[in-house]
Structure 1
Amino acid sequence: MKPMIVAVATLMISVASHSATSQMGGMRGNSMMEEGHMMGGAGMGDISRLRHRYFMRHGIDTTYADKSNPLDPNPPVLETGERLYTNNCASCHGESGLGDGLAADSLNPKPANITAFSRMPMASDAYLYWTIAEGGAPVNSAMPAFQQNLEEEEIWSLITYLRAGL
């Protein structure tokens, strides 16, 4: 499927879910995670969709909105990104970024398939930076926030590595 069609389809699912929620007498969960469960079905409550819905409703914090990756995908940057991914992300997102790491089964919502997501049009530099920096706090997931543990250049190295295809 073409990326634009996927983005439109995802938005339509989000709108349909919101409509269905409104038609159920305004019943809404207290968190994005609960809303994800209301969507039902295996995989429908995954973190990518929850984060997308949050983004569509609230946008990105202005702290991150204008961020743009200053790094080129050269060997030192990619090596740093790979090391950071292995040490901080692989246990949940998996070696290949498919959301199937050793810890993934114990998490709800499940970790995102960042291999696919990092190449989608919605996954701008600002969006990916925001996701890594803030972690799961905005969407009530277990993803830790890395803004206190990683330097800005390390986050950009990680994003560069993700975009290069793990």
Structure 2
Amino acid sequence: MKRTTSASSVTNSGATTRLAVLVLLATGLTLPGCVARPESGSGAPPGTVVGVPGRDAAMMGGYGMMGGPGMMGGYGMMGGPGMMGGYGMVGGGGPVGQPDAQRRRQATTAGVPAPYRRVQDPLPNTAAIVAAGKNLYAANCSACHGAHGEGDGPAASGLSPAPANLRALAHSPMGRDDYLMWAISAGGAAYGTGMPAFKDSLPEDARWKIIRYLQTL
């Protein structure tokens, strides 16, 4: 004997199911097998901010322009290791290292101090001058700054902060004659480094020869 189902029974069953779904939605519960996806906050998966997929890694929620490592919040232009806040062009840990970054910041805001401001290399541009500078550099600078001025000399591993990358500095916008003479002559005591003030041990022409050599690296 076949069992039949009336149209009214099917209709009532469908209505009951729809009502149950509405009740679940109204009370904030989820259907079995469904997982509620958080839209923001610490529980939000990357890629979701206020229900908009793909935004967490951009404007607000996490790694992006404001919320985390981006332009302001963390690793970026201002908030952390970037152009101003920490590691980078001015902040430190970039091509020239943190101590020189502090010196650069001072030069940018207040200028190179006297008596080094606007001084220029008076030596002739000859191969003999460069060769003399290379010998002076090897004897006085290479132990910390390395054979090629990259801050990787044999004594560098025991120094904190690390020696500056003089090669990069010499070819950067800050690598002017007056700035380099100031850095070599005054040393790093004012910035918490162990670099000696070579104005106390090398004559001025010897310091200029070192600068000339650095500019050829």
For the criterion TM > 0.5, the same-fold answer is: yes
Point out which structure has higher relative CO (alpha carbons under 8 A, 6+ apart).
1
Work out the number of aligned pairs and report it.
132
Q: Note the alpha carbon deviations across 1:117-154, whole angstroms, 9 max, x for none.
A: 10111121000000000010221211000001111111
* Secondary structure at 1:61 match in 2: coil
Give the TM-score, by structure 1 length: 0.71
Q: Aligned letter for 1:13?
A: M
Mapped pair 1:145 → 2:205: no
The correspondence of residues 69-148 of structure 1 with structure 2, limited to 5 A, is: 69-148=121-200
Mapped pair 1:55 → 2:75: no
Once the two structures are TM-superposed, the CA of residue 46 in structure 1 deviates from its matched residue by 2.8
Once the two structures are TM-superposed, the CA of residue 164 in structure 1 deviates from its matched residue by 1.3
* Secondary structure at 1:158 match in 2: helix
**Tell me, which stretches of 5 or more residues in structure 2 are unaligned?**
1-76
Once the two structures are TM-superposed, the CA of residue 60 in structure 1 deviates from its matched residue by 1.9
Mapped pair 1:64 → 2:121: no
Q: Looking at secondary structure, tell me which structure has more helix per residue.
A: 1
The correspondence of residues 18-29 of structure 1 with structure 2, limited to 5 A, is: none
Once the two structures are TM-superposed, the CA of residue 105 in structure 1 deviates from its matched residue by 0.9
Give the TM-score, by structure 2 length: 0.55
Taking only the aligned residue pairs, the percentage that are identical comes to: 37
What is the distance in 2 between the residues matched to 1:162 and 1:72?
15
Q: Note the alpha carbon deviations across 1:22-66, whole angstroms, 9 max, x for none.
A: xxxxxxxxxxxxxxxxx79xx366323232223234432221002
Once the two structures are TM-superposed, the CA of residue 109 in structure 1 deviates from its matched residue by 1.0
Answer yes or no: is the 8 Å Cα contact 1:77–1:160 preserved in 2: yes
Q: Aligned letter for 1:112?
A: A
Q: Aligned letter for 2:127?
A: P
What is the distance in 2 between the residues matched to 1:114 and 1:66?
20
Mapped pair 1:156 → 2:171: no
CA RMSD after TM alignment: 2.2
Answer yes or no: is the 8 Å Cα contact 1:46–1:111 preserved in 2: no
**Tell me, which stretches of 5 or more residues in structure 1 are unaligned?**
1-8, 18-38
Answer yes or no: is the 8 Å Cα contact 2:99–2:192 preserved in 1: no
What is the distance in 2 between the residues matched to 1:115 and 1:104?
15
